[in-house]
Amino acid sequence: MATIVTIDDTGTVTLPVEVRERLHVRGRTALAVEVVDGGVLLRPIDPDEGNDGEPVLRDVSRAFLRELIRRADDANAAGREVAADELAAWIDEGEAQGALRRVPAE
């Protein structure tokens, strides 16, 4: 039997506790949203599923974000746009240095 939920004015949907427990989702769990025939499918994302365009949820320090912005600003000041693969390499570098970590989607 389906559970009925509502969407508030900001587009937020609250999943019932039973659903969250069954799917092992909690606050900050990334969900893939897919429009399917006649409805919407929400699927928890495994944090190691970073390929194929799937999101990877990470806990990022403010210092690391400032460093990313500084690097991008330096590149832009030099008249160069930062490519997505370069930004991804910076993020991987930060993860390797412990500046950010993957958050389990339990």
pLDDT tens-place string over residues 41-80 = 888 776 555 445 444 555 667 777 788 888 899 999 999 9
Domain ranges within the chain, ordered by starting residue: 58-102
pTM across the whole model: 0.41
- Cα separation, 17 vs 26, whole angstroms: 9
* Residue among 32, 35, 52 at smallest CA distance from 44: 32
Q: Is 89 left (phi over 0), alpha (psi -120 to 50) or beta?
A: alpha
Angle between helical axes of 62-77 and 84-96 (0-180°, round to 10): 150
